[in-house]
Amino acid sequence: MGIEQKTVSGRTETSDGPIPHFIWNGIQCPVKVQVSEKENSRGELVRTVVMRDASAGYLPVPLYRDGCLVFALPGGGEICPSMRKSA
- Dump pLDDT digits (tens) for 10-45: 899 999 999 999 988 888 999 999 999 999 999 999
Global pTM reads 0.75
What would the pLDDT profile of 38-68 be if each residue is shown by its tens digit? 999 999 999 999 999 877 678 999 999 988 9
Residues 34/49, Cβ–Cβ less than 8 Å: yes
Mean pLDDT to the nearest integer, 64-81:
92
Q: Could you tell me which residues are beta bridge partners of residue 20?
A: 11
What element of type H or E holds 38? strand 35-39
pLDDT, greater one: 29 or 87: 29
Q: Report in angstroms the alpha-carbon separations of 42 from 34, 39, 45, 48, 49.
A: 24, 8, 9, 17, 20
